[in-house]
Amino acid sequence: MHRNARIYIAGHRGLVGSALWRELQRLSFTNLIGRSHAELDLRDAGAVQKMYALEKPEYVVVAAARVGGILANDTRPAEFLYDNLQIQNNLIHGAAQAGVKKLLFLGSSCIYPRLAPQPLQEDSLLTGPLEPTNQWYAIAKIAGIKMCQAYRRQYGCDFICAMPTNMYGVNDNFDLNSSHVLPALIRKFHAAKTTGAPSVVCWGTGNPQREFLFADDLARACVFLLEHYSQEQFINIGYGSDVRIRELAEIVQRVINFQGEIVWDTTKPDGTPRKLMDSSRLFSLGWRPQVDLETGIRLAYADFLKRFAGNGVSTS
Ligand code: GFB
């Protein structure tokens, strides 16, 4: 990509999109295009078409989605299905109409069957039933993959897809009802420490295993794929190893230095037992993550403190 390429990042204020925006700026890309949710409702096909006509992006990254943790996915199925289908249909179809040179669609590790062999290989797609707590989101993301593949086959569009594992980092969502596990734990342990609470309640049994990738690493992978990957087959983006949620809670406890105990609320769902990506295809192309889990958690906690603690916003 030339440094003055016009690159539209859909979702540039989110966890992944903002990391990609920073990375492209760091690499001296000068023509970055973004729209906040207030400026552009991506579910509105006409509005998306107008944006494409006005901005004429050469590259598009679909980092915009209705996202959330296990509870939000489980309790707001209509939003997770409808919003995501609308957003990605408008962005992908609109990009084809606008003659976009290359588009990168980001999916999720939850596209794989709940009990697919671990680590999850790309060819496990559609080989078994999905995890019920996030099947709505997964179906939308699978449809997004198929959209890109169909537009490549029928219209020759260079639309590629990548499936990131569970993400965390700077600019995350710390709302306890809709967040993923890592920001939730950071907020809960911080609140317990500052109020002197004796314990922190975490969800489920603590046994599920999850792989976590720092958003800045994903941003580097996105740039790598935009520059070096043009295949119909989607590609996994993971860290390479996973931890039990119990271990994750202990790392957060240590980073935040909370002295109390951890209590498990088993009335809350565990979700998929394990979701470790096989990222060997991407690794063999030469990309590697740079930020280990504990370092990333320290960076995410620093971001939480900067954004929320000490400015009057309740962190409990
Ligand atoms: O990150 P998370 O919400 O989503 O939860 P998934 C991961 C694990 O952490 C689950 C446990 O086993 C939760 O029960 N957990 C423990 C907690 N304490 C907490 C807590 O306070 N908050 C939260 N949120 N979890 C999501 C999908 O699944 O993964 C999305 O729902 C998406 O669709 C995303 O694919 C990457 O990893 O289970």
Does residue 276 line the site of ligand 1, with CB under 6 A? no
- How far apart (Å, rounded) are the C-alpha atoms in residues 302 and 118? 33
In 3-state terms, what secondary structure has residue 130?
coil
Q: Computed over its alpha carbons, how large is the radius of gyration of the chain? A: 19
Does residue 271 line the site of ligand 1, with CB under 6 A? yes
Beta bridge partners of residue 48, listed in sequence order: none
**Token pair in block for residue 71:** 């509870």
Q: Residue 258 in contact with residue 200, Cβ under 8 Å?
A: yes
Task: Please give the model's pTM, rounded to 2 decimal places.
Answer: 0.96
- How far apart (Å, rounded) are the C-alpha atoms in residues 138 and 131? 9
Q: Quick one: which of 191, 197, 80 has its CA closest to 132?
A: 80
Looking at residue 309, its pLDDT comes to: 78
Percent of the chain with pLDDT over 70: 98
Q: Whose CA is nearest to atom 6 of ligand 1?
A: 70
Percent of the chain with pLDDT over 90: 97
**Residue indicated by tokens 């009335």:** 267
- How far apart (Å, rounded) are the C-alpha atoms in residues 140 and 107? 9
Give 311's contacts (C-beta < 8 A, 6+ positions apart): none
Question: What count of other Cβ atoms lies within 10 Å of the Cβ of residue 49?
Answer: 15
Mean pLDDT of 110-135: 97
pLDDT digits (tens, 9 = 90+) for 224-267: 999 999 999 999 999 999 999 999 999 999 999 999 999 999 99
pLDDT digits (tens, 9 = 90+) for 26-45: 999 999 999 999 999 999 99
Q: Which residues are catalytic?
A: 137
Does residue 182 line the site of ligand 1, with CB under 6 A? no
**Token pair in block for residue 105:** 């669609």
- How far apart (Å, rounded) are the C-alpha atoms in residues 286 and 26? 20
